[in-house]
Structure 1
Amino acid sequence: MEWRPDRASEVPLYKQIANYLESRILNGEFPPGSRLPSERVLANQWKVNRSTVNCAFEELRSAGLVSRIVGRGTVVIRNLPGSGTKQFPNWDMYVKQGYYPPNNPVNQNIYRFIRADEPMINFAIGELSSDLQPVELMKEAYSSIELNNDLGYEHIQGNITLRETISEHMKTYRKIESTPSSLLITSGAQQAIHLIIRGLLKPGDSVAIEDPSYAYSLPIFHSEGLHTHLLPVQNNGIDPDQIITLHKRYRLKMLFLNPTYQNPTGTTLDLERRRRILEICSKFGIAIVEDDPYSITGYDGTSIPSMKSMDKEGLVLYVSSLTKIIASGLRIGWILGPQTVINHLADVKQQFDFSHPSLPQLIAAKLLSSKHFDEHIMHLREGLKIKRDLTIRSLEKELKGIISFSVPEGGIHLWCKLNDEEIDENLLFKESLKKGVVFAPGSTLGSKHNYIRLTYSRVETNCISEGIQLLAQSLRELE
């Protein structure tokens, strides 16, 4: 359990906090030279006044454990009592100079607030709410698993039964022909993207991503030294001819697309544009990464051909997961591609985690092969459509003329434009947080400002109207 000061104790709160921080300093969790969290952060975390934290810091300073440095905050001193002449690593410098940059500060805030104890109406995270997850189906799958005596490492590409099941699943639901040997199981789609970047690209390579897009928010595109070029998303997806323009100037190596119910815009790349992109990439030798988490969620059940299903020349690496159709905590994703690529990416993955955990793979195989899986997908589509419609009705009631949007036919996101260009979506984000509502500001997902993404899949249905009301209050207070 996470530590909190005990308000029933006779020991003053500031003293409890000082004692707790002292123990973490002395056991090395806050080593010499490191910074303590700010007064504001700790006050919010422990629900105390900043003055209480300030008193605790003063207690630590008096004990010779920390110093207050202008511009840096409260820092653990380098010569702790009893340390003598020992030298300690400068962990702050390690953090700053590490290979991977930190997440966008706004995204860090989102993750911090949704994990807090206080309830938040969460329009920010691409997960399914509890009423959309197949909990009973998962319990049934779990209870039917027969564990044998061999609980060692799985196959380097993933459990063979799961890969066989995914191969059948893609044929049935996505019209994609594949074999188990051409599949690599990953820890969700995000790890799949990381493996592709780390395994197939090198610093200095040029890639193109949609603008706005989920890929824009991933620091790995920048930490790997890639040159990232943007393809604006229109009503029917990206303009294929802009790929030609970018390639002639920058020599693109790879194209990252989320063509069906795109994150965050909800748009779908039309069939003619899909054909044209395949034609262009075939001509210039550009690889395509198709990220397809949402196509199975089309509300009317219409099947939209994936780019992979149209690909006859091996141009497309297909990435998908069970995050948006079953549960994010299962951590099952996959890459489908040419055998040489899958072999190499499996080798790269083995260097990260050696093999994927067995139990989630066994559960996923049971879920996908269940006779009730189709019933779950029908329930999922209906549930998402209900949430989408309720979100739209609430926006039209509370913010008609203030926010505009296009209605998605599947997926989980609503991309909203703030019609008043004077309104700063980041200020709106901060104001909404105070009222208990969190969403994704558009600038975290692309170059466009004055946009927000409302992800309605995670919000409990009975909280949607209240969440939009609070968002409307926050907007009006900024006008």
Structure 2
Amino acid sequence: MDWKPDRQDKKPIYKQIAEYIELGISSGRFPADSLLPSERKLAKELEVNRSTIVAAYEELQSLGIVERKKGSGTRVSTDIWGISHNRIPNWGRYVEDGSFLPNLPLVQHIRTEVQNNDLINLASGELAPSLLPNDQFRSILSSHPFIENLGYDHPQGNELLRETISSHVKQFKNIETTPSSILITSGAQQALHLIVECLLKQGDAVAIEDPSYCYSLPIFQSAGVRTFLLPVDEHGMNPDDLLSLHKKHRIRMVFLNPDHQNPTGTVLHLSRRKRIVELSVKLGIPIIEDDPYSLTSYNGEVNPTLKSMDENGNVLYISSLSKIVASGLRIGWVIGPPQVIQRLADAKQQVDFGHSVFPQWIANEFLKTDDFSSHIDMIRTQLELRNYAITSSLNKHIGDKVEFINPAGGIHLWCKIDPSIKEFSLLNESMKNGVVFVPGSILGSKKGYLRFTFGRGEPSDIQKGILRFSEALERISAGTII
């Protein structure tokens, strides 16, 4: 056999062998009822362990392609092309071979545990049910007749909502824009996907913060985009780091979360904001500003967004109602140059033929009323209470075993712990004890960190969750759990 498995390939060797044999069967090189090489012989020929061949043959057997009998070896099925044998697709291979990559296994594991078990959730980035404007929505549904057309809406989203968002960002964030420069998306997540898929090509270099939410996203890898890291300190990322990266790698785009950043909670310093905008103009690098949290500042002060400082159209501004109104509403938006917005809108049309009419209508009615401002005031107060619940509990139960910078807004607390502690063991022990968090390795390159998210829990549950976490940490630190 001239063929050899590629040991540099990320695909497991046994799968490469199974695929090679399956291709040989399809081409007639291994005819029906022919005897395949013995496990020992093939292992020697391909220079692999016998167990690897066993795994390859077992995969082929599960598909009905080969038949295995003890003492008789492995044969190509006699009825592989006949009507009495039903062949099924190798769905496992299809799942693994798709170009759109899945979430990280640990992210999937956390999500499954939260869904299937009654855990105190300090991992999910959403608001508690008690913080949602349910009464206001009920009022809208009962007192405002729905008169919208139920056909496909404008490719960029409902025009009335885009007009309302234009007024909204002017009032709250000093951003000057027009409805033609806005695209309604299914939250900020879809906006990020559209930007990566439509505006970047394979091999492009982009800069993301470290740590950051973007660090956990497989969309960059799916698109074949190279990511380079911008370290975040207590004042956000340093513009000089962006300049250095650009000189080395020709950065095509930079992704930033300037206000109450996920996961650190930090706020990008005003002087750094100005410098970043200057560099964007000087180097021609587009800035993707992701702004879900600026309105959650506990003191009510909203920092100047990069978009409000952008005089040249260099900033694509993303925001949503997910972190300040309701994540299930799925209302987000992108603000940018009209030609970019039209390109993104065309791609969104290919995916879903435009956004659903009903949530756009509810969002428009809610944003137009005074109830929105009152709701934001309530959110700020309640998130500050939850912030106090988690920080005071950490100080009480863990003390000098954890370090953090207390955020001035948002829903995340970035904590530093002993880097020698195995974070996966700590996570598993915490989940056994009834609380879940996000290990830092999902969100950044440094060891010894974790993220607590406190927007979803009630203060009493948050306090209970930190107590449970401290018990798990104590057991791990004492070496009673490996």
Q: TM-score, normalised by structure 2?
A: 0.82
2:419 to 421, 430, 453: 421
CA distance in 1, matches of 2:105, 2:140: 39
Q: Deviations over 1:370-412 (max 9, x none)?
A: 2211111100000000000010110000000000100000010
One-letter code aligned to 1:169: H
CA distance in 1, matches of 2:368, 2:57: 55
2:365 match: 366
Q: Aligned runs of 1:116-155 on 2, under 5 Å?
A: 116=116, 118-148=117-147, 150-155=149-154
Change beyond 3 A, Cα 1:71–1:473: farther
2:177 match: 178
Contact 2:441 2:447 in 1 (8 A): yes
**2:450 equivalent to 1:464:** no
Q: Report the secondary structure of 1:379's partner residue.
A: helix
Change beyond 3 A, Cα 1:303–1:203: same
CA distance in 2, matches of 1:394, 1:415: 15
1:160 match: 159
Shift of 1:87: 3.0
One-letter code aligned to 2:110: I
One-letter code aligned to 1:316: V
Change beyond 3 A, Cα 1:402–1:77: same
Pick which of 192-201 and 131-140 moved more.
Answer: 131-140
Q: TM-score, normalised by structure 1?
A: 0.83
1:210 match: 209
CA distance in 1, matches of 2:222, 2:285: 22
1:477 to 467, 475, 480: 475
Q: Report the secondary structure of 1:252's partner residue.
A: coil
CA distance in 2, matches of 1:91, 1:393: 49
Shift of 1:421: 2.2
Q: Report the secondary structure of 2:391's partner residue.
A: helix
1:108 match: 108
1:98 match: 98
One-letter code aligned to 1:159: N
CA distance in 2, matches of 1:261, 1:73: 51
CA distance in 2, matches of 1:275, 1:242: 15
Shift of 1:120: 1.1
Contact 2:419 2:449 in 1 (8 A): no
Shift of 1:150: 3.0
CA distance in 2, matches of 1:74, 1:428: 35
Q: Deviations over 1:181-204 (max 9, x none)?
A: 110000000000000001100001
Q: Deviations over 1:106-160 (max 9, x none)?
A: 10011111211x3210000110001111111111122234234731111100011
Q: Deviations over 1:333-364 (max 9, x none)?
A: 00000011001110011111111000010010
CA distance in 1, matches of 2:120, 2:103: 22
**2:298 equivalent to 1:313:** no
Q: Report the secondary structure of 1:415's partner residue.
A: strand
Contact 2:287 2:314 in 1 (8 A): yes
Shift of 1:76: 9.2
CA distance in 2, matches of 1:76, 1:259: 54
CA distance in 1, matches of 2:423, 2:393: 19
1:42 match: none
Q: Report the secondary structure of 1:401's partner residue.
A: helix
Contact 2:63 2:90 in 1 (8 A): no
1:449 match: 447
Q: Deviations over 1:226-280 (max 9, x none)?
A: 0100000011011101111111111011000001100000000011000001111
Q: Report the secondary structure of 1:111's partner residue.
A: helix
1:21 match: none
**2:374 equivalent to 1:389:** no
Shift of 1:72: 11
CA distance in 2, matches of 1:149, 1:307: 34
1:439 match: 437
Q: Aligned runs of 1:203-282 on 2, under 5 Å?
A: 203-282=202-281
CA distance in 2, matches of 1:268, 1:73: 54
CA distance in 1, matches of 2:388, 2:124: 19
Contact 2:158 2:357 in 1 (8 A): yes
Contact 2:307 2:317 in 1 (8 A): yes
Change beyond 3 A, Cα 1:128–1:88: same
Q: Deviations over 1:411-452 (max 9, x none)?
A: 10000000x221122211111111111111000001012101
Shift of 1:73: 9.9
Q: Deviations over 1:50-95 (max 9, x none)?
A: xxxxxxxxxxxxxxxxxxx869999994349997233322111111
Change beyond 3 A, Cα 1:236–1:149: closer
Identity %: 50
Q: Report the secondary structure of 2:318's partner residue.
A: strand
Contact 1:145 1:363 in 2 (8 A): no
Change beyond 3 A, Cα 1:324–1:84: same
Contact 1:145 1:362 in 2 (8 A): no
One-letter code aligned to 1:212: P
1:16 match: none
Q: Aligned runs of 1:298-309 on 2, under 5 Å?
A: 298-309=297-308
CA distance in 1, matches of 2:425, 2:363: 41
CA distance in 2, matches of 1:144, 1:225: 49
One-letter code aligned to 1:282: V
Q: Report the secondary structure of 1:147's partner residue.
A: coil
Q: Report the secondary structure of 2:259's partner residue.
A: coil
Change beyond 3 A, Cα 1:213–1:390: same
CA distance in 2, matches of 1:437, 1:200: 40
One-letter code aligned to 2:432: K
Q: Aligned runs of 1:339-350 on 2, under 5 Å?
A: 339-350=338-349
1:50 match: none
Shift of 1:298: 0.3
Change beyond 3 A, Cα 1:103–1:72: farther
Q: How many residues align?
A: 410
CA distance in 2, matches of 1:83, 1:112: 40
Q: Aligned runs of 1:370-381 on 2, under 5 Å?
A: 370-381=369-380
Change beyond 3 A, Cα 1:94–1:396: same
Contact 2:101 2:218 in 1 (8 A): yes
Q: Report the secondary structure of 1:318's partner residue.
A: strand
Q: Report the secondary structure of 2:400's partner residue.
A: coil
Unaligned runs of 5+ in 1: 1-32, 34-68
One-letter code aligned to 1:244: L
Q: Report the secondary structure of 1:290's partner residue.
A: strand
One-letter code aligned to 1:458: R
